[in-house]
Amino acid sequence: MSAEASTFLLPDTGEPGFGVYIHWPFCAAKCPYCDFNSHVRHQAIDQPRFVSAFLKEMETMRTISGPRAVTSVFIGGGTPSLMDPATVDAILSGIARFWHVPAGIEITMEANPSSVEATRFRGYRAAGVNRVSLGVQALNDRDLKFLGRLHNVEDALKAIHLAREIFPRMSFDLIYARPGQTVEDWEAELKQAISYAVDHLSLYQLTIEEGTPFYGLHKAGKLVVPDGDQSALLYEATQDITAAHGMPAYEVSNHARPGAESRHNLTYWRYGDYAGIGPGAHGRLSIGADKLATATERNPEGWLKLVEDHGHGMVDRELLGRDEQADELLLMGLRLREGVDLARWHTLSGRDLDPKREETLLEHGFIERLGNSRLRCTPSGMLILDAVVADLAC
């Protein structure tokens, strides 16, 4: 997008914003816990052909969204760091062609430590990427092997240090609540992670998703994960350690130093608009008072053919009315430490929260008011977030 990638990032305004999400669906191997739309191909990917399709679908999305100023871009996957830097440059240039891209917006790219090379990272940086998110997942080789990762700890540390050197901002992911993991084990690993001078961590509990190899093993009793009580202890230890080290949770699973929060993910959680482009991408685009929910074909080759034939790969388009938008706003916003803007929820839903339900949740310490304008979950409420949302949305 630019030969001179700015090191200055615009500050968070607190507004939902407008994001562009690009999905690169290919991986070198499929992890046994992963239910994301990722695919392994043993032949070389025709990257120029996919770039052309991305640009075509962007053009279609632009006709739906109208002129917008982009506040963040996120290239996810799959493993986007398998792309050539020229591919990333062409994608970002396309976004700038169809929408207004101010200097200094956050442009994030996911990368796996096993596919990291200094020349690639420098190429992504020159293309305009200013934030990288590394899929580290664990900081010991035994658990990395268990999770099906292609890298080892040495690879991970090399990638972390390289990212710190090249990109203004970086984050990495860790998975906890792994089989046999004690609170003491996790505390030591988390402190180690924080010591690498990161400004953002995404910390996820291991979940067993249907359709994955781990699901079959778990169902057969061959994979035992921590029970609810142990998981709660691990979660509480996560909150305590990150807060004590200046990286409190700003969302259920995401922790950052002040000002380093992911702008793109905040767009989702603040219920902003975003264009979802690529195989299996989802989007939300406002059309008057309604919001269009989009979803594209998940199979990469199927998506490619649809785009080449019709200009887009959308297989699902649904106009969400105000009630549906209000439910989504509540679902997303209560994940955030800043909570939900009640005036916005009232505008969408046309009603106030049920006072009896709210009072019950307040009495149990699961939610709290921030003045008269916002409502958020307490740390205890975050542990049962789905139940809190379901109760309030009724």
Residue 330: what pLDDT? 94
Residue 198: what pLDDT? 87
> Could you tell me if residue 196 is inside a domain?
yes
> Could you tell me if residue 330 is inside a domain?
yes
247 and 358 fall within a common domain: no
7 pLDDT tier (thresholds 50, 70, 90) = low
pTM of the complete model? 0.95
Residue 125: pLDDT over 70: yes
Residue 192: how many other CB atoms lie within 10 Å = 13
Residue 303: pLDDT over 70: yes
The CATH code of the domain that includes 255 is 3.20.20.70
Residue 252: pLDDT over 60: yes
140 and 230 fall within a common domain: yes
165 and 62 fall within a common domain: yes
**Pairing mode, strands 374-377 and 367-370:** antiparallel
> Could you tell me if residue 253 is inside a domain?
yes
238 and 105 fall within a common domain: yes
Q: How far apart are the first and last CA of the chain?
A: 46
Residue 64: what pLDDT? 97
> What's the CA gap between 134 and 112, in Å, rounded?
6
Q: What's the number of domains the chain is made of?
A: 2
3 pLDDT tier (thresholds 50, 70, 90) = very low
Quote the domain boundaries for residue 126. Answer: 16-266
E-assigned strands of 177-289? 200-205, 249-251, 254-256, 273-277, 282-287
CA atoms within 13 A on the CB side of 328: 19
- Average of pLDDT values for 160-174? 95
Residue 13: pLDDT over 50: yes
Per-residue pLDDT reduced to its tens digit, 54-99: 999 999 999 999 999 999 999 999 999 999 999 999 999 999 999 9
Q: Which of 266, 289, 312 lies at the terminal end of a domain, its last residue?
A: 266
Of 113-117, 284-288, 309-313, 346-350, give the lowest mean pLDDT range. 113-117
337 and 198 fall within a common domain: no
Q: Which of 247, 266, 285 lies at the terminal end of a domain, its last residue?
A: 266
175 and 101 fall within a common domain: yes
Per-residue pLDDT reduced to its tens digit, 337-382: 999 999 999 999 999 889 999 999 999 999 999 988 899 999 999 9
235 and 354 fall within a common domain: no
Q: What is the DSSP string of 275-321?
A: EEESTT-EEEEEETTEEEEEEE-SSHHHHHHHHHHHS--EEEEEEE-
Residue 264: pLDDT over 70: yes
The CATH code of the domain that includes 346 is 1.10.10
- Average of pLDDT values for 113-129? 89
Residue 2: pLDDT over 80: no
> Could you tell me if residue 77 is inside a domain?
yes
